[in-house]
A and B are shown apart, each in its own frame.
Chain A
Amino acid sequence: QVQLQASGPGLVKPSETLSLTCTVSGGLITSSSYFWGWIRQTPGKGLEWIGSIYYSGSAYHNPSLKSRITMSVDTSQTQFFLELRSVTAADTAVYYCARLEASPFHFGVLAYYMDVWGRGTTVIVSS
């Protein structure tokens, strides 16, 4: 049974870069069937999809965050990563990593959904 665990610094200063790691166990991060993604949850905005990455490095990004995020994968360590630049208090959230499964094309629309979630890690942006 695949498991994911997000980890990060806990506290980040405004304007700095938030770096998070997700460690995958019990499954292959190089599986051709899945993307790997990040989601965050804030009291004000609820759940927000951040982005998703394939083991090859192909990625999808939330358009509202695209300019500030970089995602990467280390297949040898079965880890994937998120960097969020120029953080503000609005980036304070619980950050989750997840495995994403693809749905069949439906009316020509592509969809990926989170079928396995890791425990979240809390990030507070404060000076």
Chain B
Amino acid sequence: SYELTQPPSVSVSPGHTARISCSGDALPKTFAYWYQQKSGQAPVLVIYEDNKRPSGIPERFSGSNSGTMATLTISGAQVEDEADYYCYSTDTSVELLNWVFGGGTKLTVL
């Protein structure tokens, strides 16, 4: 089955840049999306269609998708950005439409 692969954890100091990667064979031809999930809460969309920010999401969040790797970048990470981050994309390996999440990356800001 199709997989999106993320590092289990990333650490960053406050004010520095955090980059979270997501690799998948179909990413050259599919959009990547990113969700932020804080402890005990539902996920929140932070990036859609590779690099677009929903209304209300701070400008420090940005996304890119090149080749088989999508990347979420948090420029000037804040303590409140500490959360789990999940990438999401389309599985093109099956005839029936299917959408999958990456395994998630725990971002620590300290």
Instruction: Judge: A and B partners, yes or no.
Output: yes
Task: Select one of B1, B42, B92 contacting A117, CB under 8 A.
Answer: B42
Interface size on A, residues (CB 8 A): 27
A77 at the interface (CB under 8 A from B): no
**Contact at B99–A109, with CB atoms within 8 Å?**
no
B-side contacts of A85, CB under 8 Å: none
Q: Using an 8 Å CB-CB cutoff, how does the interface string of A103-127 with B read, 1 for contact, 0 for none?
A: 1101101111111011110000000
Smallest Cβ distance from A107 to chain B, in angstroms?
A: 4
**Contact at A111–B31, with CB atoms within 8 Å?**
yes
User: Which parts of B69-109 form the interface with A (CB within 8 Å)?
Assistant: 86, 88-90, 92, 94, 96-104
CA–CA, A66 and B31, complex, Å: 24
Binds B, one of A26-34, A46-54, A68-76: A46-54
Residue of B nearest to A61 (CB): B96
> With A47-B104, A49-B99, A112-B99 known to touch, is A119 a contact of B30 (CB < 8 Å)?
no
**Contact at A49–B98, with CB atoms within 8 Å?**
yes
Most buried by A among B1, B42, B100: B42
> With A64-B1, A109-B30 known to touch, is A115 a contact of B45 (CB < 8 Å)?
yes
**Contact at B48–A115, with CB atoms within 8 Å?**
yes
B-side contacts of A63, CB under 8 Å: 94, 96, 98
| Nearest 7 A/B pairs, CB to CB | A107-B29, A47-B101, A117-B42, A49-B99, A113-B33, A111-B90, A60-B97
Q: Show 28 A/B contacts (Cβ-Cβ < 8 Å), sorted by A.
A: A46-B86, A46-B102, A47-B35, A47-B43, A47-B86, A49-B100, A63-B94, A63-B98, A96-B43, A103-B31, A103-B48, A104-B49, A107-B29, A107-B30, A109-B29, A109-B90, A109-B92, A110-B90, A110-B97, A111-B30, A111-B31, A112-B99, A113-B88, A114-B35, A114-B45, A115-B48, A115-B54, A117-B44
Chain A interface residues toward B at CB < 8 A: 46-49, 60-64, 66, 96, 101, 103-104, 106-107, 109-115, 117-120
